[in-house]
Amino acid sequence: MTHPIHEVLKRIGFADHPAAVAVSNTWQAGSGEPLTVVSPIDGSTLVSLRQATRSDVDLVIETSKNAFHQWREVPAPRRGEFVRLLGEALRKHKADLAAIVSWEAGKITQEALGEVQEMIDICDFAVGLSRQLYGKTIASERPGHRLMEQWQPLGPVGVISAFNFPVAVWAWNAMLAFVCGDTVVWKPSEKTPLCAIACQQIVNQVAHNFPETPDGISSLLIGGAEVGQTLAAHPDLPLISATGSIPMGRAVAETVARRLGRSLLELGGNNAMIVTESADLEMTVRSALFSAVGTCGQRCTSLRRLIVHESIADKLLASLKKAYEKLPIGNPLDEGTLVGPLVDQSALETMQQALRTAEEQGGTVHFGNPLLSDIPAGGSYVHPAIVEMPGQTEIVMQETFAPILYVMRYEHLETAIQMHNAVPQGLSSAIMTNDIRQAELFLSPVGSDCGIANVNVGPSGAEIGGAFGGEKETGGGRESGSDAWKAYMRRATNTINYSTELPLAQGIKFDL
């Protein structure tokens, strides 16, 4: 082990062995195919692992199920205390965990730290929630009766996560699941197993010192799509929460639906920003820039379409191009870098192909070229692209997971909203305007059709307090804040008769 990432892993307490499967503190190598993980920063080899197989999955789920039977009996505020301690441990390891995120996912340090902060924030949220898993009391139509709702723990939850948020999305799911009384089986992206190993290690340390946590409260399975499909098909996982591409989500949803399980899907976006004639242009450039080139365009909330009023389009484009010209692109670990690498060479090729297709469909491409100098050798670095399009052609309707910003013009706001909603995805959206009527129209039933709709804030970088997710091909799931916790619990409706009579509902008489 020579790579600097291993020093960081050691500080988190991870022992030097090629584990791909973990049930709480029991780590073991998988018995499946080897997996070599390379850094997007410079192509250096980070680790070699053997992936989990079907029998590894069965063993892990069996242990997780047994752990659930114990964990569900621990009072929710005590489960919250466990999550509070996890939050403390994450604060302690924030910089180290962020460094692993940078090495494995290629994020700039600021965004990697932000991702770990997002984990800490969801811990805080979940701690509060652990005393607020409220059910309703409902008026009964029968005398001497009481109706109420209780929220009960659901079972072991399968979490499938993507490379672009390799730690935060797991935390959104796991922290809620833990306070809800569930256990978690996690299959991270095979591009970012060390991020997952570090998180599992942190959970283990906290669990080790917490008397009520059963062995198997948190498990990890490193492997590819096959492992994900095995989780999706498994009857002992009542909920599968999956984040990633639309084809992945479709495959998972079909498998889960076949066994009538529950799936929570957070899939692709094709997020747009409408810029009206009254918008603050300086603010528009800043928020569009962060949303479009942040994480090198690899967030599912990344800004992909800019729909601009024709009267200000030239001015806005000129300012945007000026900002793009100055972008510091390069090693994400260097201070001052704003744009790091794409995750791999295949992402770079997909981006270049999309730019060629956009050109064929009438687009004018600015920037977008691969970078060959002043970058670490072995990484896939690009200059983010701005593409002026005559309209929303086929390529604009697709999500290309790379920094491409398509710019279209509009004359009437109604047309802009129509264009906005014309794509198959429905995750996040924004309007930049100083006109209250335009803002309210965008947020109204005839406005944005997305799960997230913002005013004078770009589509990416959501806070954890709100429910996160979207409609249409984005999959319909909601994770993180608000009442998203309800997906991780079983609702029980209870009727209690405290009288000596037995009146039936709906006034039915049924006496001998």
- Catalytically active residues are 266
Pick one of 163, 165, 324, 381: the residue that binds ligand UN1 (CB under 6 A).
Answer: 165
Please tell me whether residue 419 binds ligand UN1 under the rule CB under 6 A.
no
Which CB sits closer to ligand UN1, 56 or 111? Answer: 111
Which CB sits closer to ligand UN1, 7 or 463? Answer: 463
Strands, sheet with 364-367, edge to edge from the N-terminal-most edge strand: 364-367, 385-388, 404-410, 303-309, 271-275, 428-432, 452-455
Which CB sits closer to ligand UN1, 30 or 193? Answer: 193
Interior angle at CA 111, CA 109 and CA 116, nearest 5: 95
Determine the Cα–Cα distance for residues 90 and 315; give it in Å rounded to an integer: 44
Question: Does residue 407 sit in helix, strand or coil?
Answer: strand
| Helix axes 94-105 and 4-12, enclosed angle (nearest 10) | 140
* CB of 181 vs ligand UN1, minimal distance in Å: 25
Q: Which stretch binds ligand UN1 (CB under 6 A): 41-49, 92-100, 296-304, 386-394?
A: 296-304
The percent of the chain in helix, strand and coil, each rounded to the nearest 5, is: 40, 20, 40
* CB of 319 vs ligand UN1, minimal distance in Å: 23
Number of residues that bind ligand UN1 (CB under 6 A): 11
By rule CB under 6 A, what string of x and - marks binding of each residue 336-375 to ligand UN1?
----------------------------------------
- Residues whose CB falls within 8 Å of the CB of residue 206, separated by 6 or more in sequence, listed in order: 82, 85, 86, 89
* CB of 331 vs ligand UN1, minimal distance in Å: 22
By rule CB under 6 A, what string of x and - marks binding of each residue 118-147 to ligand UN1?
x-----------------------------
Which CB sits closer to ligand UN1, 302 or 433? Answer: 302
**Closest residue (Cβ) to ligand UN1?**
462
Which CB sits closer to ligand UN1, 214 or 469? Answer: 469
Q: Which stretch binds ligand UN1 (CB under 6 A): 27-35, 162-170, 315-323, 442-450?
A: 162-170
* CB of 155 vs ligand UN1, minimal distance in Å: 25
Please tell me whether residue 243 binds ligand UN1 under the rule CB under 6 A.
yes
Determine the Cα–Cα distance for residues 412 and 423; give it in Å rounded to an integer: 19
Which CB sits closer to ligand UN1, 300 or 358? Answer: 300
Determine the Cα–Cα distance for residues 505 and 222; give it in Å rounded to an integer: 51
- Binding residues among 199-218 for ligand UN1 as defined by CB under 6 A: none
DSSP 368: -
- AA letter at 225: A
Q: Which stretch binds ligand UN1 (CB under 6 A): 208-216, 295-303, 320-328, 439-447?
A: 295-303
Please tell me whether residue 263 binds ligand UN1 under the rule CB under 6 A.
no
By rule CB under 6 A, what string of x and - marks binding of each residue 297-336 to ligand UN1?
--xxx-----------------------------------
Q: Which stretch binds ligand UN1 (CB under 6 A): 53-61, 90-98, 161-169, 314-322?
A: 161-169
Question: Does residue 365 sit in helix, strand or coil?
Answer: strand
Which residue intervals of 72-134 are DSSP H helices?
76-92, 94-105, 109-129
Determine the Cα–Cα distance for residues 318 and 324; give it in Å rounded to an integer: 10
Determine the Cα–Cα distance for residues 107 and 302; give it in Å rounded to an integer: 14
By rule CB under 6 A, what string of x and - marks binding of each residue 453-472 to ligand UN1?
-------xxx----------
Which CB sits closer to ligand UN1, 127 or 162? Answer: 162
Tokens of 362: 């009438």
- Residues whose CB falls within 8 Å of the CB of residue 307, separated by 6 or more in sequence, listed in order: 272, 273, 274, 275, 408, 409, 410, 416, 419, 420
* CB of 116 vs ligand UN1, minimal distance in Å: 12
DSSP secondary structure string for all residues of 258-269: HTT-EEEEE---
Longest dimension (CA), the chain: 90
Which CB sits closer to ligand UN1, 301 or 438? Answer: 301
Question: Does residue 23 sit in helix, strand or coil?
Answer: strand
By rule CB under 6 A, what string of x and - marks binding of each residue 90-119 to ligand UN1?
----------------------------x-
Residue 19 to residues 16, 199, 218: CA-CA distances in angstroms?
9, 13, 15
Which CB sits closer to ligand UN1, 14 or 163? Answer: 163
Residue 271 to residues 18, 372, 428, 445: CA-CA distances in angstroms?
39, 29, 5, 18
Which residues of the shown chain bind ligand UN1 in the complex (CB under 6 A)? Answer: 118, 164-165, 169, 243, 299-301, 460-462
